[in-house]
Chains A and B, each alone.
Chain A
Amino acid sequence: MLCVVGTVPANDFPLIEGEVRLKGEQLQIGREAVSVHRGTPALLAAAVKTALALGHPTPFAYLVGDTGTGKGSRSLYAHLTEVLPHASFQTMTFHYIQPIVHWHRRLQAVLGTLVPKPKLIADAGFMYVAKMSGESSLYDLFTPDVGELAFLADEEAPHPFYTRGFILHEDNHVPDLIARAYRHRNAAQYLLVKGEKDYLADESGILATVDQPAQEAMEAVGGTGDTLTGIVSALIDGGMTIQEAALASLRINRLAGYYAQPTPATQIGEMIGYIPQAIQEVLER
């Protein structure tokens, strides 16, 4: 089963866990409901759509409210260190969580004891803290955009906010940034880089690129990276290899965007509805 760990942008949202259902544009976990329009709920909505399309169980989630103070994230880290030794997940995806190095190390100490070891995917704040901790290589997949890739490539930056200018200027040299990230051991086993052209890479270099269908406006739409991470997580959990899942998810996410015909003002909820159609088309090819 896929497990997704993340936050909801509300301080009064309690720490909850459970299987996720999707009703219209609302995620339901137990008695709690949350809109799919932003952040981890958008990731979860894409993962649910993908799992249902594959005929697999919907994901399990650990969620807590956090608007950036880190209070909710700390309680989530603490809870996970207690419950994960007794849980069994095939795939775990970590998302919008406050980057706190000492908590990440404590959680990794727990994850390292799990048998069998789940596939580990990190995006957003959890990818940042994995790199800050010097433990990127413990992960199977990171899903950075080009700006975040520059952060991974900068061996001195503890957060994207401090990425040095000469590296940020290398935006158009994604292969060089990927090589630099691996050289300094700041990348997961695989990198799925989102951008005008998407890249799948590992330590040996670029494995594949995807640049069609192209919808320039998708870069501005908040949440397109979240949906990609949700789709790839569900495909990996469904049994695909990371390489197969990464390439399929890039095509599915782009195709869902194409069907939505986005403008820079499009909201992610408009795109999520097209994911099943895109999955059907990509997987039947």
Chain B
Amino acid sequence: MLNLFGLRKGDHAKRQSPGRVPLADRGILVFENTGEVIQAENLLKQKGREIRVMGPPPEIRQGCDLVIEFPLIEELQILRIITEAGLQPLSIVPVTSPLLRPVNIFQSKDFGSHLMVRAANMKLTVDKETLVIVNISGGGCPDVPFLAASLVGKSLASAPSPREIGHTLCGYALQLAYEEVKRLCSV
């Protein structure tokens, strides 16, 4: 994600479109790229914070974007957690319109010896006996071939999670497929 409307790292001023009234007590953390969103999500969830990864509102949407929705009342604590870890949001924005929800529908296909799970545009296939990831297909962001090269040939137990090394929404969708495969395979 490039600078959003001139936002810079460390610019914590709350931005609000003229004439708009916040609909709820929620805010969003905007980061420079999806990789930072994923790192912040991991961190905040580890700390037990009630946050959600969502799609940004149209006025700050650039392309391959995610934001973190959080209770505004917890802004200071949440900021402390992420800045202590070296993460700096581009901005903190109050929620003024409904945010896009990430896909939450999975489709699985059983090939007999292999199981394929699709989340949004990403598909991950494992050998049911060895639990080795044999293929990753679909997707369109540039980390997809990188994720495939990093995961294919490794077992579900030893492969890095897409969340750790991915950067984009396709990487995030692959993470969902990866978690669903692990759930279905009881890993």
Contacts and interface: CB of A to CB of B under 8 A. Distances in A.
B137 A225 contact: yes
Contacts of B168: 68, 98
Given A96-B141, A168-B105, A220-B125, A159 B64 contact: yes
Contacts of B147: 68
Given A98-B64, A102-B62, A125 B141 contact: yes
Contact of A147 (B127, B138, B148, B167): B138
Contacts of A158: 55, 61, 63, 65, 100
Contacts of B125: 220, 264-265
A73 interface: yes
Interface in A216-233: 216-217, 219-225
Interface residues of A, number: 61
Contact of A125 (B101, B111, B140): B140
Nearest to A222: B137
Contacts of B127: 265
Given A162-B101, A265-B127, A265-B134, 13 more contacts: A37-B149, A67-B167, A68-B141, A68-B167, A68-B168, A69-B33, A96-B141, A125-B142, A161-B172, A163-B120, A168-B105, A171-B107, A264-B113
B36 to A, nearest CB: 10
Contacts of A145: 121, 138
Contacts of B118: 147
B30 to A, nearest CB: 15
**Which are the 6 A-B pairs with shortest beta-carbon distances?**
A68-B143, A68-B167, A124-B140, A39-B145, A265-B134, A160-B121
A72 interface: yes
Contacts of B152: 222, 267
Chain A CB count within 10 A is highest, among B134, B143, B145, for B145
A263 B121 contact: no
A253 to B, nearest CB: 14
A264 B141 contact: no
B139 A124 contact: yes
A80 B43 CA distance: 38
A68 B171 contact: yes
A69 B63 CA distance: 13
B140 A223 contact: no
Contacts of B29: none
A162 B135 contact: no
Interface in B98-129: 100-105, 107, 109, 111, 113-114, 116, 118, 120-121, 123, 125, 127
A179 interface: no
30 contacts: A9-B145, A39-B145, A68-B143, A68-B170, A96-B141, A98-B63, A99-B64, A99-B141, A123-B140, A124-B141, A125-B64, A145-B121, A148-B138, A158-B65, A160-B140, A160-B169, A161-B172, A163-B120, A165-B103, A165-B104, A168-B120, A220-B134, A221-B135, A222-B138, A222-B152, A223-B137, A264-B111, A264-B114, A265-B125, A267-B135
A9 B137 CA distance: 15
A162 B144 CA distance: 17
B111 to A, nearest CB: 5
Interface size class of B (residues with CB under 8 A): 35 or more
Chain B CB count within 10 A is highest, among A7, A72, A264, for A264
Given A145-B121, A221-B137, A161 B169 contact: yes
A60 interface: no
A195 to B, nearest CB: 12
A9 B103 CA distance: 25
A199 interface: no
A127 B149 CA distance: 23
Contacts of A217: 111
A273 B163 CA distance: 34
B136 interface: yes
Interface string A49-69: 000000000000000001111
Interface string A20-55: 000000000000000001111000000000000000
Given A160-B120, A160-B173, A219-B123, A67 B137 contact: no
Contact of B144 (A96, A216, A267): A96
A9 B146 contact: yes
